[in-house]
Chain A
């Protein structure tokens, strides 16, 4: 599916990222067609191609420039107003997706559309199939949850299903923001269509038990087996190092995530137990027959009640700030690992092509002595074909390696920023909690002293 783009529009796009890439053509983005022949003309580049002369050191500069352009990155997306549509097991939630932007690739400044969860999954699946094999880190979509959704469908209006919907809404918002932060994905027509068009064809293949779903599972299993059998000759230490780092990061983030989830759970428990104690203290105050002490106990009960609310709010912050961030990053790192795996697959493909070429050459050599001119010609043709494939394979491998380096660079920058921002916000929430605690106890102290 190749692009039909107005050259004028292309120019406008270039303005956005011209500081980031050296050649204007680089800003052009085309879809997934990979054919060995389209390697030439710059008019239709197949891959998001940097200027092939770019040495690797230039990435440092480019990253800086990208940073600049990201500061002028003007797009806000919000996912809100979850609404239940339909009844019973066929019901689903619909979310309002509001995009506000001044970027010219969008047709309007402000667009509002309605999307359901499977639409998001569909978007991700399309992006993954287009870009992952090129080495792009495609942000993973939020996870399905059969239990959570069933509760919502069945119409349970309790606290846990409200929480579930809120959790999902927030996750969908983060997903979209991450997706548009990626310079290539932002301009992808599927993304644009998702954000702008009022009607979206239903993504049926995202259902777990659909034909496509089952195919996905089979592919995943096959990939896992392949991964074990491919033994790659890593010539580039950078990749080995990075893979190790990501493996370590994965382990630690999962551990941290588990601890934070435990903290959220215990804080919620603390809040409940504090509320229960507050009630009990109030009762004790009531039965105390010394008036001043009775009053002080009632005051204590009030303080504890306020504190229980404080604990609850803090637990929420623990969750929405830290726990969800960690969960997102655990999934993102899986995507990163996936990209490394793609590189391995590309390498394997290249190796296979070389093996084939060798075989064809051997076959040709044999035919040389057999005096079968037409078969010989065929053999020579095949050799040419496989030579081409080997070349393409090597180019692909180089390209994906380059892409991954750049993507990992970008990913790490984002990671640093994300963690910094979130942790600072989290510490600020902790500060607020302590300030409130001080307020409450300072109000109580004179009451306690007043017992005579």
Chain B
């Protein structure tokens, strides 16, 4: 159904040149240049950037696996531009549906517009019975920008090689974050486009097609505060609703399962993040060790100089591999867990809505009984009860299917990512091993 765009980038090294002038203009210049990610489904990602999708995997970003390709509606993000405060995504649509004026078209959207679309799904009663695809997280380059700025400021205090090295690393990090945010926005759109009901949503079509600014402003303080209270009420209510025992075994099981699962995924996600951070720190240390060994090698007057240079070279290469291992773990494991954290929350929200509808239905039943007993306002009570009944049954019907689909998707996504994780770990370990063994061979041979 959707062909995920394959992000490869064609960055000219000259664009990434950090100007020496003032620090604030540095990152502006840099970010305005991390531009034009070309779409080229044939090309594989750069070797030293994280592999998002490999040649074989034309499906959308790994976490979302709905592999029926359907020519009626294909959505992807074909381009993205990172500017000072925002990221501009070029949303590209190919469709044979009659609703659209053309068969192929593109519009530019920003993060707030994605959120608007997501919120419109959540707020609509129509979609109460579906798992709403979780909204993509806000693009967050703050940490990366800060580091780049600090680097610019500290330029005088380090050697030219150190500076160039660090700059390259920070740029790679920036690029990685950038690619990730693009992918996450794309996954959201693909999920919507894949959903049999949501894909028909009018707001979605407007989002895809309307080539002017949607004039969606972010929520102002008052609205954010309202949201906050709404959430508080909702979680309190959620607890109440969850306490109600469900007649239906399937849903009762799902409720218990999702509650526990969500908590455990949250825990695993946090722990995997910490693990990966340590891994990155260790790789950074190896980088510094490699540099110092290089200096030692150039200064030493004994036979050790060649030795040190060789080992320095080795460590340069192995630390690149270690950094890749950390990056791949981040992609295949940490991101997977983060995504399912959000999805399981969306599933919980669905259960909550159903639970709410059930409570409303039961209350309506009680009200009807009371009304009949008193023989007062019976008609009104009947209508209310019927409305509640319909709502509840509609939600239950679609919810069941949604939850089953959720499980299928989840299992497939985990399988895919775990397999890829293992394959990548193996690939890197073998690469490392080969480097180490060949270096050892040379070093031992020299003595």
Contacts and interface: CB of A to CB of B under 8 A. Distances in A.
Given A438-B430, A438-B433, A259 B285 contact: yes
B443 A423 contact: yes
Secondary structure at the A interface, as helix, strand, loop or mixed, is helix
A445 interface: yes
Nearest to A421: B447
A248 B299 contact: yes
Interface in B74-123: none
A252 to B, nearest CB: 5
A263 B286 contact: yes
Contacts of B264: 280, 283-284, 286-287
B302 interface: yes
A287 B419 CA distance: 20
B447 A420 contact: yes
Contact of A273 (B268, B275, B285, B430): B275
Interface stretch (B151-159, B288-296, B375-383): B288-296
B325 to A, nearest CB: 9
A318 to B, nearest CB: 10
A445 B426 contact: yes
A262 B436 contact: no
A245 B301 contact: yes
Nearest to A423: B311
A431 B304 CA distance: 22
Interface string A440-451: 011011001101
B418 A277 contact: no
B425 A431 contact: no
Nearest to A252: B296
Contact of A451 (B271, B281, B415): B415
Interface stretch (A120-128, A194-202, A288-296, A398-406): A288-296
B304 to A, nearest CB: 5
A151 to B, nearest CB: 26
Nearest to B314: A427
A312 to B, nearest CB: 12
Nearest to A285: B264
A281 interface: yes
Given A273-B271, A423-B307, A427-B440, A451 B418 contact: yes
A84 interface: no
Contacts of B288: 259, 262
A263 B285 contact: yes
A329 to B, nearest CB: 11
B216 interface: no
Given A289-B257, A420-B447, A451-B414, A277 B433 contact: no
Contact of B422 (A267, A269, A445): A445
A427 B260 CA distance: 44
A419 interface: yes
B292 A255 contact: yes
B411 interface: yes
Nearest to A451: B415
Contact of A420 (B257, B281, B304): B304
A249 to B, nearest CB: 7
Given A431-B433, A448-B422, A274 B275 contact: yes
Contacts of B277: 273
Measured as residues with beta carbon below 8 angstroms from the partner, the interface class of chain B is 35 or more
Contacts of B422: 441, 444-445, 448
Contact of A441 (B268, B278, B426): B426
Nearest to B421: A448
Contacts of A288: 261
Interface string A231-250: 00000000000000100110
A277 B275 contact: yes
Given A420-B304, A431-B433, A444-B422, A277 B278 contact: no
B234 to A, nearest CB: 24
Contact of B289 (A260, A300, A424): A260
Interface string B411-431: 100110011011101100110
Contacts of B299: 245, 248-249, 252
Contacts of B279: 270
A428 interface: yes
B414 A419 contact: no
A274 to B, nearest CB: 5
B432 interface: yes
B320 to A, nearest CB: 15
B436 A300 contact: no
Contacts of B292: 252, 255-256, 259
B436 A431 contact: yes
A420 B444 CA distance: 9
B430 A276 contact: no
A424 B261 contact: no
B265 interface: yes
B271 A270 contact: no
A288 B413 CA distance: 14
Contacts of A262: 285, 288
A359 B301 CA distance: 44
B304 A416 contact: yes
Contacts of B432: 430, 434
B200 interface: no
A360 B364 CA distance: 123
A259 to B, nearest CB: 4
Contacts of A90: none
A110 interface: no
A51 interface: no
B433 A435 contact: yes
A346 B141 CA distance: 63
Contacts of B142: none
B307 A420 contact: yes
Contact of A290 (B265, B282, B407, B418): B407
A277 B268 contact: yes
B415 A448 contact: yes
A412 interface: yes
Interface of A: 245, 248-249, 252-253, 255-256, 259-260, 262-263, 266-267, 269-270, 273-274, 276-277, 280-281, 283-284, 286-290, 292-293, 296-297, 300, 412, 415-416, 419-420, 423-424, 427-428, 430-431, 434-435, 437-438, 441-442, 444-445, 448-449, 451
14 contacts: A249-B300, A263-B289, A270-B275, A273-B278, A277-B272, A277-B275, A280-B271, A284-B268, A287-B264, A290-B410, A419-B304, A419-B307, A438-B426, A441-B422
Interface of B: 253, 257, 260-261, 264-265, 267-268, 271-272, 274-275, 277-279, 281-282, 285-286, 288-289, 292-293, 295-296, 299-304, 307, 311, 314, 318, 407, 410-411, 414-415, 418-419, 421-423, 425-426, 429-430, 432-433, 436-437, 439-440, 443-444, 447
Given A428-B440, A437-B425, A448-B415, 16 more contacts: A245-B301, A259-B288, A262-B285, A266-B278, A273-B275, A277-B268, A283-B267, A284-B267, A286-B264, A287-B261, A289-B253, A292-B411, A296-B418, A427-B436, A434-B436, A449-B415
Which 6 A-B residue pairings sit nearest by Cβ, starting from the closest?
Answer: A270-B278, A263-B285, A448-B418, A451-B415, A434-B433, A273-B275
